[in-house]
Chain A
Amino acid sequence: MIATGDMRSGPPPSALAADPLVVPVIALQGVTKAFAGRDGAAVHALGPIDLRIEPGSFVAVVGPSGCGKSTLLRLVAGLDMPDTGAMQRYGTPLDGPSHEVGIVFQEHVLFPWTTVLENVLLPADVLSLPKAAARERAMRLLEMTGLKDFAHLRPQMLSGGMKQRAAFCRAMLSDPRLLLLDEPFGALDALTREELSLELSRLWQDLGRTALLITHDIEEAILLGDRILIMSERPGTIRADIAVDLPRPRNADTAKLPRFQEIKHQVRDIIFNRGRA
Chain B
Amino acid sequence: MAPRSSRLLSGATTPLIYLVLLAGWEALAHVMKIPTWILPAPSAIAEAAVKWAPELASNSLVTLRETVVGFLLAIVLSLPLAILISLNPLARKLLYPILLGLQSVPKVAVAPLVILWFGLSDWPKIVVVVLVCFFPILVNMIAGLEAVPKTMLDLMRSLGASPHMVFRRLRIPVALPHVFTGCKVAVTFAVIGAVISEFVAAQDGLGYLILISTAQSQTPLAFAAIALLTVLSIALFHGIEFIERRVVDWTP
What residues of chain A have their CB less than 8 Å away from a CB belonging to chain B?
77-79, 96-99, 101, 103, 105, 107, 109, 111-113, 122-123, 125-127, 154, 156, 174
Contacts and interface: CB of A to CB of B under 8 A. Distances in A.
Query: Interface size for chain B: under 10, 10 to 19, 20 to 34, or 35 or more residues?
Result: 20 to 34
Contact of A79 (B158, B169, B251): B158
A174 B151 CA distance: 20
21 contacts: A79-B154, A97-B159, A97-B160, A101-B158, A103-B158, A105-B154, A107-B151, A109-B155, A111-B152, A111-B170, A112-B250, A112-B251, A113-B248, A113-B250, A122-B155, A122-B169, A126-B159, A127-B159, A127-B160, A154-B250, A156-B250
A99 B160 contact: yes
A122 B170 CA distance: 11
Given A109-B152, A113-B248, A122-B155, 13 more contacts: A78-B158, A96-B160, A97-B157, A105-B154, A105-B155, A113-B176, A113-B249, A122-B169, A123-B159, A126-B156, A127-B159, A156-B250, A156-B251
Given A111-B152, A111-B173, A97 B158 contact: yes
Q: Main SS of the interface on chain A?
A: loop
Contact of A99 (B159, B176, B252): B159
B50 interface: no
Contacts of B250: 112-113, 154, 156
Interface string B163-180: 001000110010010000
A112 B252 CA distance: 6
Contact of B155 (A78, A103, A125, A154): A103
Q: Main SS of the interface on chain B?
A: helix
A103 B252 CA distance: 22
Given A111-B173, A112-B250, A98 B160 contact: yes
A98 B161 CA distance: 10
B205 to A, nearest CB: 39
B173 A113 contact: yes
A154 B250 CA distance: 8
Contacts of A78: 158
B164 to A, nearest CB: 11
Nearest to A98: B160
Contacts of B157: 79, 97
B177 to A, nearest CB: 10
A109 B151 contact: yes
A125 B165 CA distance: 9
A113 B160 CA distance: 21
A34 B94 CA distance: 31
A68 B159 CA distance: 23
Interface in B216-239: none
B251 to A, nearest CB: 6
A101 B155 CA distance: 12
